[in-house]
Chains A and B, each alone.
Chain A
């Protein structure tokens, strides 16, 4: 029931957006949206971002409105935005309702997977009156995705891969994550694809059984090589570890924004190195 209510709100906000003038004072409630807005060239119109918005680096100079899961209502309102963009992934739904009660225009970004990103960007562009910039960005991403997908489907047989988000306690990228999409796109099989949560705490024993051919370890806090030592010691008999197919990657895939292309290219670069 809440879901229906929520989607109704979204439809209302969409239809509202179509008739109103393009917003000039935009607040972004998510780091990936901030990146998308910058990539669409809307920097001048952004008046507030979250304290997590650190890409591109100059986004850090924008006024802050709090965190992603706990944005400050007062901070948002005091910046007098005429549009607040938020996402279904990470922002609290209640915040959207509160904004609406204050007669604040909002837009909720719907894309959750890499394949939905180009369309998500175009919808966002339409809501912000920036259709052309959005279309250009969406096409650029779509082209890159098509190119990489063509490369990926040429891979056979399918190799097994695992993307470790944090080694201890071991959190891996499950289904419905950009990492899972990226592995799939590159023609790899994510061995943690069959679990029921996005970021499961995964069994070390099970990794040994499933024996991935390639292991990626994402960027986190601190020195990842050092933090991963204990885990790699446990996995030492896997081919991936023995043959040095454990790669430490950046954090580009952690956000569903324009940098996912860089993230996929980075993984692809490691694969082609062999």
Chain B
């Protein structure tokens, strides 16, 4: 294990622990009164865990997708999954449905994400496997269709529900709750295990289908499994806290620059870095202008994008030289 890897993991753990103490009020875990204990256990802890889960899932999804699509611009949302989730969540809000109680909107979003994933997968499918260009174009097409339908609903509706749908789409971790975490954890874990299990295949895919084939991998089949993994992780993440951008697109590039493009290392470290970044962003979001809150998605990009641009300009991030 490289030195940077170790530091990254230690740093992330410290950040996560620190973020438990930081908020509108500083909480010392060793000296807590009843109010602080409740804030720490039922508000901050689920929120920190949610940010780690979501950030980790998005980081891993991005790394895997950039591999299977062989495209540095790929991110978990390029497959239209976010627009599908947002469309159904907005529909749920509009119908005023409370079919699943507190879970209603997450369930709607999850169903939307999964249905979109299946539709995009079906269109990317040909001759017994998934093909990068088909997947990419199917994702972009479906994404456009769904976001236009969402816009259409918003233009036609005079509803307060729509304003909330917009807020939700921007990503909001404030309502993190213990009840959502177990199911998100299981889905993300399954996706992550699938990705790591096929990480070798992903390495081969990145060299091109012919080489992958000669190394003993079936490219179409590898992509199917990995696509399923990404679909699970993204759907779980979007349904828990809305759409948080940047992490899935740029964190894998930053990590690839640090540790190289071996997916067996890249994927777990993208999980660590993605989680740490979202956790930090959310901590700033709930602290900076307290008692008001800022959406985490915005802060993630404000924190991460300048660093990424610096790497792009100053360092050999794409391995061109």
Contacts and interface: CB of A to CB of B under 8 A. Distances in A.
Nearest to A223: B98
Contacts of A203: 23-24, 174, 286, 290-293
Contacts of A222: 93, 96-98, 161
A197 interface: yes
B25 interface: yes
Interface string A252-272: 000000000000000000000
Interface residues of B, number: 35
A80 to B, nearest CB: 25
A169 B286 CA distance: 13
Contacts of A230: 102, 175, 177
Interface string A170-211: 100000000000000000000010111100111111101111
A204 B175 CA distance: 9
Contacts of B97: 222
B13 interface: no
Nearest to A199: B163
Nearest to A210: B291
B177 A234 contact: yes
B159 interface: yes
A61 interface: no
Given A201-B174, A209-B25, A220 B160 contact: yes
Interface residues of A, number: 35
B158 interface: yes
A248 to B, nearest CB: 15
A73 interface: no
A169 B164 contact: yes
A113 B291 CA distance: 23
Contacts of A197: 292
Interface of A: 51-52, 67, 166, 168-170, 192, 194-197, 200-206, 208-211, 220-223, 226-227, 229-231, 233-234, 237
Given A205-B23, A226-B101, 13 more contacts: A169-B175, A195-B292, A201-B167, A201-B174, A201-B292, A202-B292, A205-B24, A209-B39, A221-B93, A221-B160, A222-B93, A230-B175, A233-B177
